[in-house]
Amino acid sequence: MTTEQAASVLPHLTGSFRSVRTATPVPAPGSSAHVEVEGHAIAVFNVGGNLYGIDSACPHRGCPLEKGRAESGQVVCPWHRLSFDLTTGAVAGGPGLLRRMSKPVTAYRVESADGFVTVLLPPSPRTVDSRNPVPGLTPALAA
Ligand code: FES
């Protein structure tokens, strides 16, 4: 079975990314939520009705970034004031040396599906395996 055939069986497999629905309701405008999906801890922000997702853990000391204040396309870490671009995850501001030493966070594409947070994730070997592209099917059935 090809990846394209698997995509027809798994409608949530789109292009090179998978749309993974979570059980977390979409946060209200101006608020945020913490989402755990397939080993990714993601801070989800609703800014004026637009959803943004970045790694939850601040790369400095691990503060949950969903506790930060999101405004002007950035979130400010409440512990030591590093800020991150909500679209790219790049370091956008903060105290001098801390800013220069910090690594960016991963940005995720997040959407709403029936009021629940959906995260687009790249395919993983566990779900797109050329020998068994459909989880739950035996290789003999998938061939
Ligand atoms: S933990 Fe985020 S800036 Fe220090």
Contacts of 23 (CB under 8 A, 6+ apart): 116
* Separation of alpha carbons 26 and 62, rounded Å: 23
The alpha carbon of 134 and the centre of ligand 1 are apart by a number of angstroms equal to 40
The alpha carbon of 46 and the centre of ligand 1 are apart by a number of angstroms equal to 21
Residue 16's pLDDT band, with cuts at 50, 70 and 90, is confident
The hierarchical CATH code for the domain 17-123 is 2.102.10.10
Contacts of 96 (CB under 8 A, 6+ apart): none
What pTM was computed for the model? 0.77
Counting atoms of ligand 1 from 1, which one is nearest the CA of 61?
1
pLDDT digit string, tens, across residues 66-82: 999 998 999 999 999 99
Handedness of CA 13, 14, 16, 22 (dihedral sign): negative
Strands (E), the chain: 13-14, 17-25, 32-37, 40-47, 50-55, 69-71, 74-76, 83-85, 91-93, 107-113, 116-121
Counting atoms of ligand 1 from 1, which one is nearest the CA of 65?
2
Lowest-pLDDT range of 7-11, 27-31, 68-72, 85-89: 7-11
In the chain, what percentage of residues exceed pLDDT 90? Answer: 71
pLDDT digit string, tens, across residues 87-104: 999 999 999 999 999 999
What is the model's pLDDT at position 15? 58
What is the model's pLDDT at position 88? 97
